[in-house]
A = this chain, B = another copy of it.
Amino acid sequence: MNATTLAPDLLALTLARTLTQEHVADIVETLNEQDNASVARILLELPFERAVEVLDQPELAEASDIVALLPQERAAALLQAMSADRAADVFEDLEEPFRANIGALIDRKTHSELERLSAYPEHSAGSIMTTEFVSVPSTWTVQQTLDHIRHVERSRETVYAIYVLDPLTHKLVRSASLRRLISADPAAPVASAGFEHKPITVAAETDREDVARLISKYNLLAVPVVDESDHVIGIVTVDDVIDAMIDETTEDVQKLGGMEALDEPYNEIGFGRMIRKRAGWLSILLMGEMLTASAMQHFEGQLEKAIVLSMFIPLIMSSGGNSGSQATSLIIRALALREITLKDWWRVVLRELPSGIVLGTILGTIGVTRIAVWQWLGFYDYGPHWVLVAATVGCALIGIVTFGSLMGSMLPFLLKRFGFDPASASAPLVATMVDVTGLVIYFGVAAAILTGTLL
């Protein structure tokens, strides 16, 4: 029998049966290749627990649209069984009136939790935290804690981090780890198996990049999110942080390329949406670059006298842009890694200024050599004043590369200082900003060296 002759439900049933044995991450990969209606049918055929696992994967594309295709009772039951952070993401994206209908079917406690989690700003710790963590009063023993963990294990995102609370105020007093608990004396108080140092915590508003930095610095499996009075309101686990890091890197790379972050995979985003994300910056850069046309008009007289000058314009401008691009990527990354902070701008200037001069001298030497070789070998005749032309190109390269390095390294600081993302200091933006000044430097040097001969 041919697979295409199967009725859709039978096909879904067959696929669902095959998928039951697979790792959930692989199931999600297979499902992402199907259309939403098929995925919904397969979810209905999968055992309930398995369907929950599938929906719990952040990698499942268009989960809200898929859930919206399910019978409302089933959708509500699934959301209720999912991990709170993921359920909140899916719930948030549901469209009305389906969202309200589902909300009414979920028990009140879960519903208000989903609403609360959905309300946190995008990219905050609150938006990626889960409320399913293990906390115990500090009066408990290690044995009581272990019994409790055994009891709640299935319903918690992680049981490897345990938060010990003050029995009266419910404030966080200590974090503990399961590995320490299982090797501790069962009769000892749980707090004695905790870490000695003050627990590392974040606020719900903390940016997810800062959460990632803490988790990476302290090698944590989870970090608790606390409110102003030190009550644990959720935890961010290491797998959520890895997902967030991958997202952030994608955004940064796309911004560095001179565009808005797509926020969607390249092969899934609609054509119109992609054009909008790209056209904005391209148009802004074009308008910036129009200043070069104005600058060129200003130097028209020089150009008419010495057409030879125009030949090196692309070469000189691109060298300024390239050195700026190098400096800007170095500084963006160093800022992101907190290797340097805003107050280090002056130290960076003292580093980039000599770097620019040295790099410019290297490029200037190459440029002068190229002109001399072409002249000697007769590939091209730069005229009787070719030595002066070569000197102009060489000196202009030193000036422009130095300026490019300074400009490229300072732009991320300026953007950060005024509250923008330093990663917006893309190579194209730096190049555009360096181009106009590059022309001014070039024609300035030309005027200084060539006046009385060519000009």
Taking a contact as CB atoms under 8 Å apart, the answer to whether B426 and A319 are in contact is no
Copies in the complex: 2
Taking a contact as CB atoms under 8 Å apart, the answer to whether A326 and B275 are in contact is no
Tell me the minimal C-beta distance from A170 to chain B in angstroms.
24
Taking a contact as CB atoms under 8 Å apart, the answer to whether A242 and B239 are in contact is no
Chain B neighbourhood of A292, CB < 8 A: 314-315, 318
Taking a contact as CB atoms under 8 Å apart, the answer to whether A253 and B22 are in contact is no
Query: Chain A's interface: helix, strand, loop or mixed, by majority?
Result: helix
Taking a contact as CB atoms under 8 Å apart, the answer to whether A366 and B196 are in contact is no
Give complex CA distance A334, B178 in Å.
Answer: 38
Taking a contact as CB atoms under 8 Å apart, the answer to whether A339 and B271 are in contact is no
Taking a contact as CB atoms under 8 Å apart, the answer to whether A250 and B160 are in contact is no
Taking a contact as CB atoms under 8 Å apart, the answer to whether A337 and B250 are in contact is yes
Chain B neighbourhood of A390, CB < 8 A: none
Taking a contact as CB atoms under 8 Å apart, the answer to whether B293 and A312 are in contact is yes
Choose the segment among A95-103, A121-129, A254-262 that binds chain B (4+ C-beta atoms closer than 8 Å): A254-262
Taking a contact as CB atoms under 8 Å apart, the answer to whether B325 and A182 are in contact is no
A153 adjacent to chain B (CB < 8 Å)? yes
A387 adjacent to chain B (CB < 8 Å)? no
A109 adjacent to chain B (CB < 8 Å)? no
A131 adjacent to chain B (CB < 8 Å)? no
A238 adjacent to chain B (CB < 8 Å)? yes
Chain B neighbourhood of A188, CB < 8 A: none
Taking a contact as CB atoms under 8 Å apart, the answer to whether A23 and B359 are in contact is no
Taking a contact as CB atoms under 8 Å apart, the answer to whether A315 and B330 are in contact is no
Mask of A228-245 contacts with B, CB within 8 angstroms, 1/0: 000000000011011101
Within 322-361 of A, Cβ neighbours of B (below 8 Å) are at 322-323, 325-334, 337, 339-340, 344, 347, 351, 354-355, 358-359
A1 adjacent to chain B (CB < 8 Å)? no
Taking a contact as CB atoms under 8 Å apart, the answer to whether B146 and A159 are in contact is no
Mask of A195-238 contacts with B, CB within 8 angstroms, 1/0: 01100100000000000100111110100000000000000001
Taking a contact as CB atoms under 8 Å apart, the answer to whether A258 and B362 are in contact is no
Choose the segment among A33-41, A72-80, A276-284, A444-452 that binds chain B (4+ C-beta atoms closer than 8 Å): A276-284
Taking a contact as CB atoms under 8 Å apart, the answer to whether B256 and A257 are in contact is yes
A432 adjacent to chain B (CB < 8 Å)? yes
Tell me the minimal C-beta distance from A343 to chain B in angstroms.
13
Tell me the minimal C-beta distance from A366 to chain B in angstroms.
6
Chain B neighbourhood of A279, CB < 8 A: 358-359, 362
Within 270-307 of A, Cβ neighbours of B (below 8 Å) are at 271, 274-275, 278-279, 281-283, 285-287, 289-290, 292-293, 296-297, 300, 303-304, 307
Taking a contact as CB atoms under 8 Å apart, the answer to whether A289 and B266 are in contact is no
Chain B neighbourhood of A296, CB < 8 A: 310-311, 313-314
Taking a contact as CB atoms under 8 Å apart, the answer to whether A267 and B326 are in contact is no
Do A266 and B315 form a contact, CB below 8 Å, given A300-B307, A321-B431? no
Chain B neighbourhood of A48, CB < 8 A: none
Tell me the minimal C-beta distance from A322 to chain B in angstroms.
4
Taking a contact as CB atoms under 8 Å apart, the answer to whether B278 and A337 are in contact is no
A439 adjacent to chain B (CB < 8 Å)? yes
**A242 in complex: contacting residue of B216, B252, B337, B344, CB < 8 Å:** B216
A15 adjacent to chain B (CB < 8 Å)? no
Taking a contact as CB atoms under 8 Å apart, the answer to whether B283 and A314 are in contact is no
Taking a contact as CB atoms under 8 Å apart, the answer to whether B256 and A427 are in contact is yes
Identify 12 residue pairs between A and B in the complex whose beta-carbon atoms are under 8 Å apart, listed by A's number. A160-B178, A182-B182, A246-B337, A250-B333, A278-B323, A283-B362, A283-B366, A289-B314, A292-B318, A313-B313, A317-B318, A431-B431
Of all A-B residue pairs in the complex, the 4 with the closest CB atoms, nearest first, are A257-B329, A427-B427, A292-B314, A296-B311
